[in-house]
Amino acid sequence: MAGSTAAVGIIAGAVLLTGGLAAVGSASVAGQRLASAADAAALAAADAASGAVAGVPCDLAGELAGAFGARVEACDLDGLVATVTVAVSVGPVAARASARAGPPP
């Protein structure tokens, strides 16, 4: 009886550990995707601001962020430098990432 109780405890602990590691891995992947969305959106906005691509900078940023499943929360232009903040809801939590793009200083 004691051996089966110990086995159940070990299996339950392994299941909880696996679930926790899966949640951390999922959050890490979501964070990387969100950072990629912010980078792409900032690059698109900076390209439009410089005239390399036709369009309104923040509109292009919104289109690219939407392709990643994110939304633009802020889009600021300072000359040719674009700063974009994107967000996505992961369950009850809203994750955010920001990126800047433009010509070198």
Task: Tell me the pLDDT tens digit for each residue of 43-59.
Answer: 999 999 999 999 999 99
What is the Cα–Cα distance from 50 to 71, expressed in whole angstroms?
Answer: 23
Q: E strands of 1-105, at which residues? A: 71-78, 81-90, 93-101
pTM over 0.95: no
Q: Around 20, how many Cα atoms within 13 Å sit in the side-chain half-sphere?
A: 6
Q: What is the mean pLDDT of residues 5-13?
A: 85
Whole-number Å distance between alpha carbons of 25 and 43: 27
